[in-house]
Amino acid sequence: MTRALSTKTENIAASLTVAIDTLAKQMIADGKDVVSLGAGEPDFPTPTPIQDAACEAIRTGKTRYTAPVGILEVRKAVAEKLKKENGIDYAPEQIIMTSGAKHAVFNALAALVNPGDEVIIPAPYWVTYPELVKWLGGKPVFVQAGIENDFKITAKQLSEACTDKTKAILLNNPCNPTGSVYSREELASLAKVIVEKDIYCISDEVYEYFTYSGSFVSAAAFDGMPERTIVVNGFSKSYCMTGWRIGYDAAPAPIAKIIGKIQGQATHHPSNVAQYAALAALQMGKASTESMCAAFKKRRDFMVERMSAILGESVKAPAGAFYLFLPVSKLYGKTTPEGTKIEGSIDFCKFLLESEGLAIVPGAAFGDDTCMRFSYAASDESLAKACERFERGVKSLRG
């Protein structure tokens, strides 16, 4: 066959977080001794009330099509959650259930982006954002946030990045991969620019329950924001439901309508059973999420302490999510025992996987080659092993 395949699809990169997770899981299945801190995937089981609700849904015939936007009960529960916990008003009609938060980001971009539109993405960013923007014919515009500003962009930077082609900003707070969390004041100053420049905001809030100091504030919680903000969230991280693929968009009414239309054509709706499971998650209270957050805080502190000792310099503790975005560029230029020079984060991660059986994600995948991302949503034992392997790998470098 000689006919060309879709060029716009050929022009986007595959997800490196997914690729590394898949590779590590395959290596483990093949009997290799690999510790994976690649994907951000909580190691705890899905809480029992959610499991029970899903079994009950299957037994009681919740196994047929639902409306493209999802079942009303869960959309009502999401609207109530947004009101109660985040102080934001989105009616049940404005909630669209999706197959995970990634799908919700895709929906939001698909509803907004015309060819040539610019979408501002603070960098470091989650791997998926620029690729989806490109796939839809838009242009990602990166606003670099350095480690000196705690990996957070300022209102001035945002204002300077806006042009007459800017359609939206894609915010991720708390941030994957950096773990940074914007304060209320910082978000208020960004919101002011977003409203002044009259652009949309896609706010991916999937790590909202994982903040270790200060509290989480939604980007939609400021004057002028609800009518321009699509809030994205999901159950994968907060309720250990990665494989269930369930999340949602909360969008201004006209955008919610468009997303419903897209979904009706593309996927029809997320799994009916997973929607009932999500409903149970929203009804079960926060005890399990809080205890998971407490466990992650301890793990974060362990990682920060160990990494500071290994690198011989103090590593700053991230304020949220469950990733450590570790600056490692001072090790670049060194040579592995096999004689390969480490030129950047990709080489370094390759070396650690091949020589030490340690899977982590290179910072280059997130738009910052000076760092590497460790997910600490893994067992204490895995984290201890990972640190040992990292230390051995670092000590083996020459030069």
Per CB under 6 A, residues contacting ligand GLU are 15, 17-18, 39-40, 102, 126-128, 176
3-state secondary structure of 361: strand
CA distances from 331 to 195, 302, 360, 371 (A): 43, 22, 16, 11
Q: With respect to ligand GLU, which residue has the nearer C-beta, 38 or 138?
A: 38
Minimum distance between the CB of residue 270 and ligand GLU, rounded to whole angstroms? 16
C-beta closer to ligand GLU: residue 37 or 57? 37
Please provide the size of the chain in residues: 399
Q: Which is nearer to ligand GLU, 36 or 166 (CB)?
A: 36
Residue 120 near residue 143 (C-beta atoms within 8 A): yes
The H-or-E segment that residue 140 falls in is strand 139-144
* Of 109, 184, 121, 103, nearest in space to 158 by CA: 121
Residues 340, 344, 347, CA angle at the centre, nearest 5°?
45
CA distance 18 to 46: 21
Residue 295 or residue 365: which is nearer to ligand GLU going by CB? 365
Instruction: Please give the structure tokens belonging to residue 284.
Output: 């079960």
CB of 15 to ligand GLU, least distance (A): 5
398 forms beta bridges with 335
Count the Cβ atoms, other than its own, within 10 Å of residue 172: 26
Nearest distance from C-beta of residue 323 to ligand GLU, angstroms? 8
- Least distance (Å) from ligand GLU to the CB of residue 18? 5
Q: How far is the CB of 219 from ligand GLU (least distance, A)?
A: 19
15 or 144: CB nearest ligand GLU? 15
Q: How many angstroms separate the CA atoms of 17 and 133, rounded? A: 18
The closest alpha carbon to 235, from 34, 53, 35, belongs to 53
Distance of CA 290 to the CA centre of its chain: 19
We find the least distance from the C-beta atom of residue 210 to ligand GLU, in angstroms, to be 13
**CA separation for the pair 116, 107 (Å, rounded):** 18
Q: How far is the CB of 26 from ligand GLU (least distance, A)?
A: 15
